[in-house]
Structure 1
Amino acid sequence: MGVNASDWFFPTLAPELDPCSNYTEAWLWLSSLQPAYLVIISMVGLVGNGLVLCVFCLQRKPCTVADVYLGNLAAADLIMMTCLPFWAVTIARGYQWDFGEVLCKLVNVAISMNYICSVLFLMLVSVDRYLALVKPMSTSRLRRASWAKRICLGVWTMGFLFTLPTLFFRTMMYVEDPGVDACILAYPHPAWRLHHNITRNVLGFLIPVLVVGYCTRHIVSVLNDREVLWLPGVRAERKATSLVLAVLAVFLFCWTPHQVMRFLDTLDYFHVTPGCLWGHVLDIGIQLSTYLAYSNSAVNPFLFVIVGKHFRKRAKEVFGKTLNPWSKDMSYLT
């Protein structure tokens, strides 16, 4: 238990590393699908999140607080998408890591930061929607874009602090059975696994979800109140809130199964459900839920386009002027 082949949500090295597992067919089938899947979602995520960031950065109107948080969310997703191809190549080569120990640490730190930063940005954007709709007369500093940028800097710092165990304990190590130089997470003590799971379950999911749930409940009640909706400020904020609620719903759909599997992994630490079969099923379940969680970073840009009417309008303005900068002059001459 001292050497854990998987980080917070990274695949184990290979089925052969588990001495009590004889279910190689399922592992081989899963390993054969992983590289193609990672390449596809990384390509989709890179293009989608890149376009979202371009819209937020190139728009002429000043960014709102929600724009700041959603832009940072897109940045976190973009960073993660740039790291997934490293693991696609590694899995395709039988988990042989050919990128050196520095990238072994940095790639996994970046991926570990993605989740904790994403969930905190979503929590902040839900709080912003709560203040905009439920407390429209509030003059809180949280409703200022300048303060939102400072808060985002704090979120990135906190995300990095959460990944310090990954930075310290990720290393390259030769594994005899598959005969590869693997990039693994070598905990100095088995208790680190328990601490790792509990921290992510409680601080990285349970508390933010409770905050999001509280804000969402009040937001929905305001949206269902017809008298309040006639207020000009509330009507304007309602459109932006629809996009936020959609992003939150998809996030919960993609990440909840993984958090449940991590909780079951904690129970397995205490041997509540012993046995090789359970360990095998748990490993497979963690990996499948991991890839569902990865897809969240590639789906978010489509939500901006499908749900966000204001975002589509801004995208047309930004890319229309970028692709045809002389359009105004030509229309004036005409």
Structure 2
Amino acid sequence: MALPSTSILANFNTTAINGEQNNMNGSQCYSDEPHVWHISVLPVYILLVAVLGIVLNVFVLGVFCLHKKSCTVAEIYFSNIAAADLILMSCLPFWAVNAANQFNWPFSHHLCRLVNFSINMNAYSSIYFLVLISIDRRMALANPLSHIGISRPKYAKLGCVLVWALGLLLSVPTIVFREVKDFPEIQYNICYMAFRNLTERAVFDVMQFTFSFIIPFVIIFYCTIHILQALNNRIFEGLNTRKKERKATTLVLAVLLAFLICWMPFHVTKILLLLQEAEVLTGCSLEYALNICGHVFMYLAFFNSVLNPILYVIVGQQFRQKVRGLFKRWRSTRKSSVNISCTNSTR
């Protein structure tokens, strides 16, 4: 779970552009070292994250789609997260090629907008599916009676439609500002967010920080506190909590914790980068450190899309049962086909 500097990948481009421009202007802060690091290490890392994310999320979607039983409300949300993460991961190879090409965008102007729009939309969507999951778990434990009416699959599907629509709406600025621009002084075509001034960028960053982190974090934190309180109250009152419910809650908490670990460093770094560009924070050492951290934490955030399907397998008992059921069905089908072929051959 999906939003680097001024779009989901703005830092990635503006840092490279600013570094080249500083070099042209004789800035003493500019160094070739981070530039070489971007070209040699970053493309491999991006491609590795993309391949892992695609394989794992295809596996998760396959398990949910091929299993005979209909999905529960939580599984509907998890499958939508996997779909959003899969689309996001499918767009990252374009940025691996871009990084390997020294940030000289080798594709068309329309593909620049489409790729980044898809990344933003699915990152936002993935985050808000986590919000729906946390709300569902909170109501299941804290208000089980009221939860029965609103936990039906049709309401879950409606919630998913609204989340996709929200992700689409929040990604509109990417279509408006994202463009490919030729920088003749460095002989590069750069795909980046073409803000006209720092104010536009600050407004966009604040909006992005609010909707992609602050609002989801507040809701998730509130629900998590109530989830933990509900579990403690049940233990204190001597009520028997079903293992199935506990396992589901553990999975949700693990996924939410992974979201916070992956996304919080990126958003903190983005705020510091904005302050540095506004010259509130200065210094070559800070500029160099933020340059490196901006890239590292950006793709740590994207790694959340790889962690989610891993957590399903490690923590999700129901998911593992679905996987075992599919394997048993596949083995029985294979044995049946072998027996039929053997019978036919003996006739």
Structure 1 consecutive aligned stretches of length 4 or more whose deviation exceeds 6 Å: 328-331
Q: Identify if the C-alpha distance between structure 1 residues 308 and 174 changes in structure 2 by more than 3 Å, giving closer, same or farther.
A: same
1:240 is displaced (CA, Å) by 1.0
What secondary structure, in the 3-state scheme, does the structure 2 residue paired with 1:187 have?
A: coil
Question: Within 5 A, what are the aligned runs for 1:1-334?
Answer: 7-10=7-10, 11-12=12-13, 14=16, 15-19=19-23, 20=27, 21-139=29-147, 141-224=149-232, 225-226=234-235, 230-231=239-240, 234-322=242-330, 324-327=332-335
TM-score norm. by structure 1 comes to 0.90
Q: Using the alignment, how far apart are the partners of 1:319 and 1:169 within structure 2?
A: 48
* Worse-superposed segment, 12-21 or 122-131: 12-21
Give the superposition deviation at 1:131.
0.9
- Specify the SS of the correspondent of 2:41: helix
Q: How far apart, in 2, do the equivalents of 1:320 and 1:83 lie?
A: 34
Contact 2:247–2:315 (8 Å) recurs in 1: no
Distance of aligned partners of 1:5 and 1:139 in 2 relative to their CA distance in 1, 3 Å threshold? closer
- The offset of 1:267, in angstroms, is 2.7
Which digits, 9 at most, give the CA deviation of each residue in 1:10-29, with x for residues without a partner?
41263324443422213312
Determine the C-alpha separation between the residues in 2 that align with 1:109 and 1:246.
28
Deviations 1:115-171 (A, max 9, x none): 211211111100100111111111465411111111111111111111111111111
The whole-number CA distance in structure 2 between the counterparts of 1:149 and 1:166 is 27
Q: Which moved more, 1:13-22 or 1:31-40?
A: 13-22
C-alpha distance 269-94 of structure 1, shift in aligned 2 (>3 A) = closer
Distance 1:64 1:17, change over 3 A: farther
Q: Which moved more, 1:19-28 or 1:308-317?
A: 19-28
> Does the Cα contact within 8 Å between 2:88 and 2:119 map onto a contact in 1?
yes
Give the Å deviation of 1:255. 0.5
* RMSD of aligned residue pairs (Cα, Å): 2.6
Tell me the distance in 2 between the aligned counterparts of 1:49 and 1:229.
39
Say if 1:169 and 1:186, in contact at 8 Å, map to a contact too: yes
CA distance, structure 2, for counterparts of residue 315 and residue 279 of structure 1 = 48
Unaligned runs of 5+ in 2: 340-347
Q: SS at 2:144's partner residue?
A: coil
The TM-score with structure 2 as length reference comes to 0.87
Contact 2:38–2:99 (8 Å) recurs in 1: no
- Structure-2 change in CA distance of 1:92 and 1:329 (3 Å): closer
Percent sequence identity over matched residues? 38
Is 2:183–2:189's contact at 8 Å kept on the other side of the alignment?
yes
- In 2, the alpha carbon distance for the partners of 1:310 and 1:228 equals 27
Supply the distance in 2 between the matched residues of 1:181 and 1:120 (Cα, whole angstroms). Answer: 34
Give, in angstroms, the shift of residue 266 of structure 1: 3.4
- CA distance in structure 2 between the partners assigned to 1:54 and 1:18 by the alignment: 49
Q: Distance in 2 between matches of 1:327 and 1:277?
A: 65
Q: What stretches of structure 1 of length at least 5 have no aligned partner?
A: none
Structure with larger Rg: 2
Tell me the secondary structure at the aligned position of residue 218 of structure 1. helix
Distance of 1:49 and 1:241 partners within structure 2: 21
Shift of 1:228: 5.9
Change (3 A) 1:39 1:228: farther
Separation in 2, partners of 1:228, 1:316 = 36
Q: What's the CA shift for 1:30?
A: 3.4
Contact 1:5-1:186 within 8 A present in 2 as well: no
- Describe the SS at the equivalent of 2:180: strand
Letter in 2 for 1:192: E
Q: Which amino acid aligns with 1:37?
A: Y
- The aligned amino acid for 2:162 is G
SS of the equivalent of 1:96 reads coil
Q: Secondary structure at the match of 1:271?
A: coil
